Structure 1
Amino acid sequence: MKTPAQPILLLEDDHVDVLTTRRALKEIHVDNPLVVCENGEQGLAWLRDAADPPCLVLLDLNMPVMNGIEFLEQVKRDEQLRRIPMVVLTTSEEMEDKVRSFDLGIAGYMAKSLDYRRFVEAMRSIDAYWTTSEQP
């Protein structure tokens, strides 16, 4: 995904999904460190304290404490954080979630597939885009 030194922030409360994401990133040879936070509140705290901002945030919407939409609302209001690219990676098929996420400036919205091969291909697509995309 961008510079190997830059971490990827994964906001995900499901431990199986965290393991699946780690496995998929390893399989497609993404070497960026993966930082995992279980909810938006933890993710926001990590972002505000991080010495090295992430090159990308992978965001689940359905999390306890602070969900993905609430997290996006906070991040997009913060001048220091608002330009970090965020991709929603969720099981939510609700049109309202999609519309609200894009209204809040996400870079992409991908449904998590229960099929591991499809999930790997989704991660490969994300990697291909962020590897070639130029950011300010």
Structure 2
Amino acid sequence: MQEGPIWIVTEDREDHELIQEILNELDFKTELVLFTKSEDLLACLDQAKEAPFIIISDANLPGMNGFELREQLLSTPNKKFHSVPFIFWSVTPSEVQVQRAYELKAHGFFIKEATYEEWRDSLLIIIRYWQKSKTPSKKDQPSAPQL
């Protein structure tokens, strides 16, 4: 089973409360780290003792948007952040946004649903899927030479 905190980036504080409520209801014991800006997440990279289990980011964020955040994570020299499943979500994603997400090797793009039950179901599906999936190590991994 995969371990580590769940990092979520969304500027909407009501989303933060809803996510916390859902994860409490689902009885997930993993740490939840909520960010309102991409820049805040990036500031935590050097201090992070472990890479997160998963990152879920809103596509539309103030300042650095979710796509720019993904680009920054992929360019970080420490490979432990490259293996973290990165999921986008948005209220109304455009086809252009979905295509861009997959160009950036996103692991999924979900719609922020209209009801509590739909949000809960989506989060449960995302988390359960990645708990079952094998991913490369998330321990410190400096860039290795290409083979």
The TM-score normalised by the length of structure 2 is 0.85
Correspondences of 1:4-15 after superposition (within 5 Å): 6-15=4-13
Correspondences of 1:74-89 after superposition (within 5 Å): 74-80=72-78, 81-89=81-89
User: Which amino acid is the alignment partner of residue 26 of structure 2?
Assistant: I
User: Which amino acid is the alignment partner of residue 107 of structure 1?
Assistant: H
1:16-48 C-alpha deviation (Å, 9 max, x unpaired): 011111111112221111111111111111123
1:66 aligns with 2:64: yes
For residue 90 of structure 1, report the CA deviation from its aligned partner: 1.7
Sequence identity percentage: 26
Distance 1:14 1:105 in 2: 25
1:67-95 C-alpha deviation (Å, 9 max, x unpaired): 10110111111232222111112213211
The aligned counterpart of 1:38 is 36
Distance 1:49 1:105 in 2: 25
Q: Unaligned regions of 5+ residues in structure 1, if any?
A: none
Q: Does the Cα contact within 8 Å between 1:2 and 1:55 map onto a contact in 2?
A: yes
The aligned counterpart of 1:126 is 126
The TM-score normalised by the length of structure 1 is 0.92
Structure 1 ranges of 4+ moved more than 2 A: none
For residue 104 of structure 1, report the CA deviation from its aligned partner: 0.4
Instruction: Kindly tell me the number of residue pairs found equivalent between the two proteins.
Output: 134
1:115 aligns with 2:118: no
Bigger Rg, which one: 2
